[in-house]
Structure 1
Amino acid sequence: MQLVIENLDKVYPNGVHALNDVNLTINQGMFGLLGPNGAGKSSLMRTIATLQEPDSGSIRLGDIDVLIQKDEVRKTLGYLPQEFGVYPKVDAETLLDHLAVLKGITNRSERKETVKALLQKTNLYDARKKNLGGYSGGMKQRFGIAQALLANPQLIIVDEPTAGLDPAERNRFLNLLSELGENTIVILSTHIVDDVKELCSDMAIFNQGQVLYHGSPQKALGAIVGKIWEKRVPKADLETLRTTHTVISEKLVGGMPVVHVLSDTNPGEGFEAIEGDLEDVYFSYIFSSKGAEYQST
């Protein structure tokens, strides 16, 4: 099964062009949608999830016309939005059972087995009687995945799922997503480059409502071989360097800025060629899309 998005466009009443002629074909497996906050990723996710209408374009999930056959999409969709609310005074087992009813699992014994299996799969079974208000951030995210897996969805959308998680919870969550991607289309929308690097065989870089890159992480990395240069520079020299070079990222290391510059040739004295990573790919595309005003943090 494929998810095919063609010529998708959306302008909000305030004039923000959230989706600008978006074209993507997404196959089974883990697909990373990478972009900064405000890039339009959530607008795309909400449109795919039938929560808002585009101004123009089309989306097909296999034989389903997503924009017309909304009920059919919802039957096969698992969705974990960026802001996932829970009832704090309800335990996980009770709420998941209630959500299973809403998802159409009306047979009581079937529902009981489904709830039990999902709580075990997300490593929440031992905490099933605990009120959700007492769950950690990672536990709430895993509960979010449990509810997204009700009714065996063919398409799963997770929007910024690891934001705010500690490293241990993040690893557990990413391992769970990786397992899901073996048999399902899983769209991981995030601004965290490492999430995509560790999980996804296919990805898109998205900014200002547009697809800047679509392909494998490996292909993207191949395009910057020999083009990433690093240098430690005094803070006083940063402003000049930004005007004379394509500085795609900068960070403080030991109190001194370390810059990465994109260049086909050695950009000057003191620069060392380094093996670029997916973060460099990401920054180079974002820089190009926003022009010289962009500065990474």
Structure 2
Amino acid sequence: MELLIKDLDKKYSNGVHALDNVSLTIPKGMFGLLGPNGAGKSSLMRTIATLQDADSGSITLGDIDVLNDKQAVRKILGYLPQEFGVYPRTTAVDLLDNLALLKGFENKADRKQMIEQLLVKVNLWEHRKNAVSSYSGGMRQRFGIAQCLIGSPKLVIVDEPTAGLDPGERNRFYNILSEIGENTIVILSTHIVQDVRELCTQMAVVDKGRVLFAGNTDDALLEVRGKVWEKKVPKQELSKYQEEHQVISNKLVGGQPLIHIFSENPVAGFVKAEENLEDVFFAKLNALV
């Protein structure tokens, strides 16, 4: 099963062109949707998840017309939005039971077995009788994964799932998503480059509603290989380097800026940098490749 998106377009009433002729082919496995805040990622996710309509274009999931058969999509969809609310005094097990009932699982014994398996999977079984509102950020995100896996969905969408998580929780989240992606289409929408590199073999870079790149992560790295150069520079000279070179990123290393510049040829004083997806991301945003 594949998710096929063709010529998708969406413009809001305030004039924002959120989706501009978006076309993507998303196979089974982990697919990273990478872009800055406001790039159109959430608009695309909400459209795929049947939460908003497109102005034009098409989306098909196997034999399902996503835009015109929303109920069929929702039966096989798991969705973890960027923000999701919970009833403040409801335990995890009761909330999952209610959500499973709403999703059509009427047999109480089947629901109980499924919920137990989900809570064990996301390592929340011992906290099952605690109110979800009392969970830490990482625990709440793991609960979010549990609720979106009700019914073994064929398509899972997670929107900015690791923002604000500490490294330990992020790694636990990575492991859960990787396991899900072995048999399911999983779309990971994020602005965190590391998330995509750690989890995904296929990816797309989007900005201002447009797809700037779509393909294999290794192919993306090839586009900047041998064209990224780095150097540590004094803080007071950073602006000068930004004026003289195509600086695609800078970060503090030991309190001193380490800059990456884009150049087809060697640059005096710079050494060749090992290419990474962050370089691809910024080079695409600046239309350098």
The gaps in structure 1 that reach 5 residues or longer are: 290-297
Aligned-partner residue type, residue 97 of structure 1: D
Name the counterpart of 2:125: 125
Name the counterpart of 2:50: 50
Give how far 1:225 is off: 1.3
Give how far 1:107 is off: 0.8
Name the counterpart of 2:271: 272
Aligned-partner residue type, residue 278 of structure 1: L
Q: Distance in 1 between matches of 2:167 and 2:255?
A: 25
Quick check: 87-96 or 249-258, which moved more?
Answer: 249-258
Name the counterpart of 2:286: 287
Aligned-partner residue type, residue 189 of structure 1: S
Q: Distance in 1 between matches of 2:244 and 2:21?
A: 33
Q: Distance in 2 between matches of 1:161 and 1:122?
A: 14
Name the counterpart of 2:144: 144
Q: Per the alignment, in what secondary structure is the counterpart of residue 67 of structure 2?
A: coil
Name the counterpart of 1:239: 239
Give how far 1:238 is off: 2.4
Name the counterpart of 1:248: 248
Give how far 1:239 is off: 2.4
Contact 2:30 2:200 survives alignment (8 Å): yes
Aligned-partner residue type, residue 210 of structure 1: R
The gaps in structure 2 that reach 5 residues or longer are: none
Contact 2:77 2:154 survives alignment (8 Å): yes
Q: Distance in 2 between matches of 1:37 and 1:132?
A: 28
Aligned-partner residue type, residue 63 of structure 1: D
Name the counterpart of 1:134: 134
Q: Per the alignment, in what secondary structure is the counterpart of residue 157 of structure 1?
A: strand
Task: Report 1:69-218 matches (<5 A).
Answer: 69-218=69-218
Q: Distance in 2 between matches of 1:109 and 1:236?
A: 67
Q: Distance in 2 between matches of 1:75 and 1:222?
A: 39
Give how far 1:134 is off: 1.5
Name the counterpart of 1:263: 263
Q: What TM-score does the superposition give when structure 1 sets the normalisation length?
A: 0.95
Give how far 1:254 is off: 2.8
1:223 aligns with 2:202: no
Task: Report 1:3-82 matches (<5 A).
Answer: 3-82=3-82
Aligned-partner residue type, residue 178 of structure 1: S
Quick check: 240-249 or 42-51, which moved more?
Answer: 240-249
Name the counterpart of 1:293: none
CA displacement 1:108-166 (0-9 Å, x = unmatched): 11111111111111111111001112211111001101110111110000000000111
Q: Distance in 2 between matches of 1:244 and 1:173?
A: 41
CA RMSD of aligned residues (A): 1.3
Aligned-partner residue type, residue 188 of structure 1: L
Contact 2:260 2:273 survives alignment (8 Å): no
Give how far 1:280 is off: 1.0
Q: Distance in 2 between matches of 1:114 and 1:100?
A: 9
Name the counterpart of 1:292: none
Q: Distance in 1 between matches of 2:285 and 2:88?
A: 39
Aligned-partner residue type, residue 178 of structure 2: S
Q: Distance in 2 between matches of 1:101 and 1:236?
A: 61
CA displacement 1:190-220 (0-9 Å, x = unmatched): 0111111011010001111111111111111
Q: Per the alignment, in what secondary structure is the counterpart of residue 47 of structure 2?
A: helix
Aligned-partner residue type, residue 239 of structure 1: S
Q: Per the alignment, in what secondary structure is the counterpart of residue 31 of structure 1?
A: strand
Q: Per the alignment, in what secondary structure is the counterpart of residue 224 of structure 2?
A: coil
Aligned-partner residue type, residue 125 of structure 1: W
Aligned-partner residue type, residue 78 of structure 2: G
Q: Distance in 2 between matches of 1:256 and 1:167?
A: 24
Give how far 1:277 is off: 1.0
Regions of 4+ moved over 6 Å: none
Quick check: 241-250 or 154-163, which moved more?
Answer: 241-250
Give how far 1:244 is off: 2.5
Give how far 1:282 is off: 1.1
CA displacement 1:239-288 (0-9 Å, x = unmatched): 23223211100112233221100111012x21111111111111111222
Q: Distance in 1 between matches of 2:138 and 2:221?
A: 31
Q: Per the alignment, in what secondary structure is the counterpart of residue 53 of structure 2?
A: coil
